[in-house]
Structure 1
Amino acid sequence: MATKTLKYLPLALLLGFSINPVLAEEREKSTVEKIVDVQHDLFKGPREGLRSNHTKGVVLTGEFHPADSARQITSAAHLQQQSSPIVVRFSNATGFPDIADNDPRGLAKGMAMRIDLGDEEYTDMVLSSVPRFPVATPEAFLEMLTAVRDSATSEAETKPIQQFLADNPKAKHFVEYPKPFPASFANLSYHGINAFKFTNADGESVYGRYIVTPLDGVKTLEKADAEIQNENYLMNEIRERLPQQPAEFRLAVQVAEPGDEVNDATIIWPEDRQIVELGRIVLYAAKADAAEYEKATMFNPLALPEGIEPSADPILLARPGAYAVSFQHRMD
């Protein structure tokens, strides 16, 4: 089962080094620390109590109801019982806490969720409205962010980010990938960009990626219609919707076939891969203590129950460390 104390693990244990201030000055910073530092440069952070990225968000509560089909691929506890409490946080991209919901820079919308397993245990998922990542390694991500930062003051004819995208076509594909303006957080699909290994009660294993789809369907806005929306239209709409109508989603897994790359977050698998439904997410209300909860909570995609294991994707394995660095800044 997921450890009871995982959310309280010190930064040092997640990153594998001491955070003694004297020793920290003497050693070379890790890649994930540098990534968070560059994000702070880009978004004018850090800001006390706030995330380094996907800073603006809304926290909601509800229930997760597992589907019988989930047992085909995993013995994970939350997929065997009747229902579990769930907390979901939708967010805009960037580290700007006041970014408008209709700002194109924030169009990679995020969905983080925590399913309560009981007895202080939980499992987390972190998803994006874009089904791919721009690069395959943390080192390449640091290089990309640095190029974005340095382009703001560069006087070169070819800006650093232009050169990076020319040298990294997968990153260019990510930048060009369609990112429509959603009509609501409840009418957008979300994707797990990293693969996990799912093992059922018979010991049979498959690799798969999470997909969350809205039961009310995907609904988007034309650019002109999005531009006239209130800067908080997504945050306001979901809060106003829930007292009258729950927001419902299907949680599923796209199953990899032999030969599919499971350790590279830049690769989208073919659409004809098998989809196994895991269950239904039903959101009922905005969380009353949202600000306090956001400050105190780090969603960790490696907080996993028995029956689900991480792949060897270097982006996946680096994410908890990067989140831990951001969390440490948030709590300072």
Structure 2
Amino acid sequence: MPLPNDERVVDLANRILAQFDTLFGLHPGFRAAHAKGLMLTGSFTAAPEALSLTNAPHVSRPSTPVTARFSNSTGLPMLPDSVADANPRGLAIRFNLAEHVHTDIVSHSIDAFPTRTGDEFIELLKAIGASGPDVPSPKPVEVFLGSHPAALAFVQAPKPFPVSLATESYFGVTAFAFTNAQGETKYGRYRIVPEAGEHFFSDEEGAKLAQDYHYDEIAERVSKAPIRFRILVQVAGPEDTVDDATAHWPESRPLVELGVVELNAVLPDSLAQQKHIIFDPIPRCEGIEASADPLLELRAAIYLLSGRRRRAAQPA
């Protein structure tokens, strides 16, 4: 996973990481965002119809081992699961294709993203940082949201507390180009849907949850039976925008099932594995390629820089 050749992208990635540090503080060995999490292992079984969309290696095989990480939002590794800022939750899935060969999906539990570009994103982060409780209205973040409808919609969108991380749907907000063996290319976005269905607490119930409720719950759940998610791809129409993470496509767009992820165990050394693993938002595999979405190269740079820093941190 290399850094982008564009020095401006790398510089912006470093500045965004610094802004996360300003917002959340320094927590050596943890991610700058989505710091609190848990890793599980399992397998992916492709659906027959997936080959109509892509000839990616994990779709062409009967089964592929996977590693998955659930996470809370923010860069606070001790954030209670009962705090609203823990939402949206994250889910990253690594398909282990061979030794040191993999492709990843990075998703979160809201079908939206607040900004189209990294420059807008750091502007939002700075506005949040400058909008403390003692700052009079209109606060910088209020001014930003008032002039950026997508960010306002993201902030105002419901982000309920899941009954379990296994009863939440997750969305890949950037589009990818999927190409099948016949050379046909279609753009699509990932949706990861729980086999157990979606189930949520009320805000009042969520506020009463224990500090580590969601991670204790999913560890207990998976110790009794595997948990499963269907991985779907929402396919864009010819007129849909495919390079803007804030652009929604109509719900009438077709969904193609890629397959089923089954998670059957928590990694016994989850904390050490989380420190080491660096997920890649760019697929980098045959049959699935990046779109022109400007967030993709930037996110890849942020993840890599954050991961290098995390790996270099000395144990407490």
Answer yes or no: same fold by TM over 0.5. Answer: yes
**Alignment pair present for 1:173 and 2:132:** no
In the alignment, which residue of structure 2 is the partner of 1:41? 22
State the alpha-carbon separation in 2 of the partners of residues 314 and 154 from structure 1: 35
Distance 2:267 2:10 in 1: 36
Label 1:119 to 1:190 Cα distance change in 2 as closer, same or farther (>3 A): same
Say if 1:195 and 1:209, in contact at 8 Å, map to a contact too: yes
Q: Is the CA contact (8 Å cut-off) linking 2:38 and 2:271 kept in structure 1? A: no
Partner of 1:294, secondary structure, is helix
Indicate conservation of the 8 Å contact 1:154/1:160, yes or no: no
CA contact (8 A) 2:43 2:261 kept: yes
2-side partners of 1:155 and 1:121: how far apart? 49
SS of the equivalent of 2:275 reads helix
Structure 2, unaligned runs of 5 or more:
none
Bigger shift: residues 142-151 or 224-233: 224-233
> Which residue of 1 is the match for residue 232 of structure 2?
252
Residue-by-residue CA offset, 1:130-174 (whole Å, 9 max, x unaligned): 111101000000000000001127634311001000111110000
Letter in 2 for 1:33: N
Q: CA deviation at 1:230?
A: 0.9
1:197-248: per-residue Cα shift (whole Å, max 9, x none)? 0000000000000000001100001112112221211000000111111110
Cα distance in structure 1, aligned partners of 2:199 and 2:152: 26
1:189 to 159, 163, 169: 169
| Contact 2:50–2:257 (Cα < 8 Å) also in 1 | yes
Equivalent residue, structure 1, for 2:73: 93
Compute the TM-score of the two structures, normalised by the length of structure 1. 0.91
Partner Cα separation in structure 2 for residue 204 and residue 244 of structure 1: 42
Aligned position for 1:23: none
Check conservation: 1:91, 1:109, Cα contact below 8 A.
Answer: yes
**SS, match of residue 38 in structure 1:** helix
**CA 1:155–1:257: 2 relative to 1, 3 Å:** same
Does the Cα contact within 8 Å between 1:94 and 1:106 map onto a contact in 2? yes
**Per-residue deviation, 1:49:** 1.1
Matched pairs, number: 312
Letter in 1 for 2:155: V
Distance between the aligned counterparts of 1:300 and 1:76, measured in 2? 16
Change in 2 beyond 3 A, CA 1:117/1:326: same
Q: Distance in 2 between matches of 1:15 and 1:160?
A: 33
Q: In structure 1, which of residues 282, 291, 300 is the aligned counterpart of residue 271 of structure 2?
A: 291
**Cα RMSD (Å):** 1.6
The residue aligned with 1:239 is: 219
Question: Is 1:246–1:283's contact at 8 Å kept on the other side of the alignment?
Answer: yes
Aligned partner of residue 220 in structure 1, secondary structure: coil
- Paired residue secondary structure (2:138): coil
- Aligned-pair CA distance for 1:15: 5.8
Instruction: Tell me which amino acid in the other structure corresponds to 1:214.
Output: P
2:284 alignment partner in structure 1: 304
Q: Secondary structure at the match of 2:96?
A: strand
